[in-house]
């Protein structure tokens, strides 16, 4: 993982509406964006950043690229991602919501073959507070520190970060896994990344009802993660059996073949309890649990 101040970032779709809105904010934050790509806009400059028609042309001019932030509309994400991976760029962040599922299947197959880390789609991206903003995170919610945030929800990530920031507890990184039905990297991948990250002392996992992501994460934490993990789950008040959720995140257990209870709030709470992971019942309760975990680590 090289989401750091010394990395080289390319924004694909820099001339798109999202690019014109968020690229200046990222540049102002200090994000090392060295080039942009928007086919047909080559030769222009956006927020002081040179724009190219192709990723290959950008690399020939500015040198190596570590991360591509993709801001194009959902039906253009596949081509952008494949072009970036063909250029051997190892980290992709997909912001768009509603990328066609079969496009994501193709992206993930290629990502597996090329050992590319994919964040998103339908993701606010990644922020390393005080260093790098890659996406749409509101930077004012974050404070540099030692707590890593991994989340399925964009807005809940901001709320949790703000609660920690107000309590004086800084964050080492915040990652939005994405809210579409098929996403790139998983809780397990990021748990392992943060387990190996020297700056991260504790991890906050922000989950939702639907699917089995949290149950699988709980099992993985019990088996492979030594750093303290604290969880928050959204969906306590959803009526049982109600098929609704965050951009299709709720998949009925019968269709998924996971058993009638997998995906419910009770199933996830049980999984975290079995893994001895403390769970806050609201974001405002997280700072106390996180501080307790940090105190244990530091003593």
Please give the distance of CA 92 from its chain centroid, rounded to a whole number: 11
- pLDDT at position 245 is 46
Predicted confidence (pLDDT) per residue in 32-68, tens digit: 999 999 999 999 999 999 999 999 999 999 999 999 9
User: Are 147 and 188 in the same domain?
Assistant: yes
Q: Are residues 176 and 294 in the same domain?
A: yes
Domain boundary among 119, 153, 180: 119
Q: Note whether 226 and 281 are same-domain residues.
A: yes
The backbone torsions φ and ψ at residue 30, rounded to the nearest 5 degrees and listed phi first, read 105, 5
Does residue 127 form part of some domain?
Answer: no
Q: pTM here? A: 0.92
| Domain termination residue (choose one: 119, 154, 187) | 119
Question: 114 with 216, same domain?
Answer: no
Do 288 and 145 reside in the same domain of the chain?
yes
Looking up residue 166, the CATH number of its domain turns out to be 3.40.50.261
From the candidates 150, 246, 283, 289, give the one annotated as an active-site residue.
246
- For residue 260, the model assigns a pLDDT of 46
pLDDT by residue (tens digit) across 172-206?
999 999 999 899 999 999 999 999 999 999 999 99
Looking at residue 61, its pLDDT comes to 98
Statement to judge: residues 114 and 152 lie in one domain = no
Q: What is the pLDDT of residue 261?
A: 72
Half-sphere exposure for 122 (CA within 13 Å, toward CB) = 19
Q: How far is CA 103 from CA 82, 155, 294, in A?
A: 10, 25, 41
The answer to whether residue 129 is domain-embedded is no
Kindly report the backbone phi and psi dihedral angles of residue 95, in degrees, each rounded to the nearest multiple of 5, phi listed first.
-90, -35
Asked if residue 293 and residue 236 are part of one domain, the reply reads: yes
Q: What is the pLDDT of residue 238?
A: 58
The torsion angles phi and psi of 138, rounded to 5 degrees, stand at -75, 110
Question: Is residue 246 among the annotated active site residues?
Answer: yes
Residues 6 or more apart from 32 whose CB is under 8 A from it? 5, 6, 7, 8, 9, 132
Q: Which residues in the chain show pLDDT less than 50? A: 243-260
């Amino acid at each position: 993982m090289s989401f750091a101040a010394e990395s080289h970032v390319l924004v694909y779709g820099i001339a798109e509406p999202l690019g014109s809105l968020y690229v200046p904010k990222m540049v102002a934050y200090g994000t090392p964006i060295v080039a942009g790509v928007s086919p047909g806009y080559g030769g222009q400059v956006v927020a002081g950043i040179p724009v190219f028609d192709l990723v290959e042309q950008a690399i020939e001019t500015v040198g190596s690229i570590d991360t591509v932030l993709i801001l194009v509309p959902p039906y253009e994400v596949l081509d952008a991602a494949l072009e970036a991976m063909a250029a051997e760029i190892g980290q992709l962040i997909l912001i768009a919501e509603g990328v066609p599922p079969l496009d994501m299947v193709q992206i993930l197959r290629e990502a597996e073959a090329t050992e590319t880390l994919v964040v998103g789609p339908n993701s606010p991206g990644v922020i390393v507070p005080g260093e790098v903003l890659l996406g749409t995170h509101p930077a004012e919610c974050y404070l540099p520190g030692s707590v890593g945030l991994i989340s399925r929800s964009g807005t809940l990530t901001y709320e949790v970060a703000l609660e920690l920031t107000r309590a004086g507890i800084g964050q080492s990184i915040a990652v939005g896994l994405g809210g579409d039905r098929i996403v790139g990297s998983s809780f397990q991948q990021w748990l392992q990344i943060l387990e190996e990250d020297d700056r991260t002392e504790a991890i906050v996992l922000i989950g939702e009802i639907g699917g089995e992501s949290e149950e699988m994460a709980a099992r993985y934490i019990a088996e492979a993660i030594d750093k303290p993990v604290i969880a928050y789950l959204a969906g306590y008040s959803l009526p049982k059996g109600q098929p609704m959720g965050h951009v299709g995140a709720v998949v009925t257990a019968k269709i998924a073949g996971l058993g009638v209870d997998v995906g419910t709030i009770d199933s996830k709470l049980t999984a975290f309890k079995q893994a001895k992971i403390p769970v806050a019942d609201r974001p405002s309760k997280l700072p106390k649990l996180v501080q307790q975990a940090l105190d244990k680590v530091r003593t």
